[in-house]
Amino acid sequence: MQIQPILAALRRHRLATLLIALEIALACAVLCNACFLIANRIALIHLDSGVDQSSLATVQLTGYEDNQANDLNARVLAGFRGIAGMQSVSVLNSIPFGARRGTAGMTLDQAGQKFGGVVEFYVGGPGSLEALGVKLVAGRGPQMDDFQAFTGLMPNNASVQITRTLANHLWPGADPLGKTFWLGDLQYRVVGVIDHLVRPDPGRWPGDSKDWSIFVPAQTGVFLSGSYLLRADPKDLPRVLREARDLVRKVAPDAVLDQDGSKTLDDLRTEGFQKDRAMIGMLVGVIVSLLLATALGIVGLASFWVQQRRRQIGIRRAIGATRRDILHYFQIENFLIVSGGIALGMLLAYALNLLLMQHYELPRLPLYYLPIAALVLWGLGQLAVLGPALRAAAVPPVVATRSV
């Protein structure tokens, strides 16, 4: 079938053709970026935390005086360790998917000229890194001599463990063991590399920076108190956490239990990603609504053109055109309109992606989303035009030629 007659017919209906093409372009742009957002949110929800979260819970206390910190830690740790089924309890300043108290910028030189990035400092007492269940891939874990007293807000000259992602960022291609970095005037030396240890709030950080974490061993005290990491068998964990929360009233009546922060890590993770799940649902609704509106637009326009062209269809049938020819005519016409809309939509998709990158730190849209969106819209266009095209192909030649 020749394309020239189809193009001539479309030029006679420029406005209607342009409106459908613009609708398809908008659908293409939104479809690409919405699917990209959904894929990013799904990847975030299934992010590898690096910790044994099914065995972990946290209890958060507030409202106590600084001079009570050491005594509070002693009472709480002793009380929690007496709970049946408690495998370990330790003090940890930040909790994965929970409390965040260690976000800070670090440098690779003492002068502060080589900025390394904003990272999460997990400051923990004895047993806390082992309780997290992280996987050590190089070097060693903390030893008892590594747990030092605080110098201001952090210990100084500590031997630390960092995640592999952060090590690759700071020293690409080099062995990170033995390397040093600074937090202000405080120096740290890397003695171990952790496979993964996600930040407490990974949704706020783009790309690999979700995993930029450092574990700093420290002695418990004023700056390391009130945040407790509990480890138990997953089947015992809910009971252990309930008993720990109840026990706080007895062993620490001078402190206030943070009800919202004292939960299992599974619950904290579920709550932390609740907005992301809601966003996925909203974006799916937007995609479905937009594709439905686009399909209805194509159906409406094709039906209108079939009604207007009954006489022309009848003439073509009378001079030998088959039903297949009529069907193919409307399918090719729709394909051309959709293709024009897709070409414009690809440009709009990248423009929208650049806007999202600028304001929401979204990564660049991968190119493979464009052909996928094109295939979806081509398929949608052919399905939408199929009904009107079949009705056009079924018009009897005699009836059509008599219609004026």
Q: In the chain, where are the structural domains located?
A: 4-45+275-402, 95-228
The mean pLDDT value for 15-33 works out to 91
**pLDDT tens-place string over residues 129-150:** 999 999 999 999 999 999 999 8
**pLDDT tens-place string over residues 237-292:** 999 999 999 999 999 999 999 999 999 999 999 999 999 999 999 999 999 999 99
Q: What is the pLDDT of residue 401?
A: 54
**pLDDT tens-place string over residues 196-235:** 999 999 988 988 899 999 999 999 888 899 999 999 999 9
- Rounded to two decimals, the pTM is 0.85
231 compared with 315, residue with greater pLDDT: 231
The mean pLDDT value for 312-336 works out to 85
Whether residue 63 has pLDDT greater than 80: yes
237-251 and 69-81 helices, crossing angle to 10°: 140
Q: What is the pLDDT of residue 322?
A: 86
State the Cα–Cα distance between residues 308 and 327, nearest whole angstrom: 16
**pLDDT tens-place string over residues 357-400:** 888 778 889 999 999 999 999 999 999 999 998 988 888 776 55
CB atoms inside a 10 Å sphere around CB 43:
9
Q: How confident is the model at residue 2 (pLDDT cuts 50, 70, 90)?
A: low
278 compared with 6, residue with greater pLDDT: 278
Q: How confident is the model at residue 403 (pLDDT cuts 50, 70, 90)?
A: very low
Q: Compute CA distances 15 → 20, 107, 221, 309, 343, whole Å.
A: 9, 60, 74, 17, 18
The gap between the terminal CA atoms of the chain, to the nearest Å, is 26
DSSP 133: T
Please give the single-letter amino acid code of residue 261.
Answer: G
Q: What is the pLDDT of residue 36?
A: 95
The mean pLDDT value for 7-32 works out to 86
State the Cα–Cα distance between residues 102 and 100, nearest whole angstrom: 6
Q: What is the pLDDT of residue 312?
A: 81
The mean pLDDT value for 317-324 works out to 82
Please give the single-letter amino acid code of residue 330.
Answer: F
Q: What is the pLDDT of residue 255?
A: 94
State the Cα–Cα distance between residues 399 and 154, nearest whole angstrom: 89
Residue that has been written with the tokens 């700056």 in this structure = 223
Whether residue 295 has pLDDT greater than 80: yes
Q: Compute CA distances 217 → 55, 150, 161, whole Å.
A: 21, 10, 9
- pLDDT, averaged across the chain: 91
DSSP 52-106: -GGGEEEEEEES--GGGHHHHHHHHHHHHHTSTTEEEEEEBSS-TTS----EEEE
Bridge partners of 61, per DSSP, are 257
**pLDDT tens-place string over residues 26-62:** 999 999 999 999 999 999 999 999 999 999 999 999 9
Q: How confident is the model at residue 191 (pLDDT cuts 50, 70, 90)?
A: very high
Q: What is the pLDDT of residue 404?
A: 47
Going 209 to 210 to 215 to 221, the CA torsion angle's sign is: positive
The closest of 35, 63, 69, 124 to 259, measured between CA atoms, is 63
**pLDDT tens-place string over residues 78-125:** 999 999 999 999 999 999 999 888 999 999 999 889 999 999 999 999
163 compared with 204, residue with greater pLDDT: 163
Whether residue 163 has pLDDT greater than 90: yes
199: number of CA atoms within 13 Å, CB side? Answer: 23
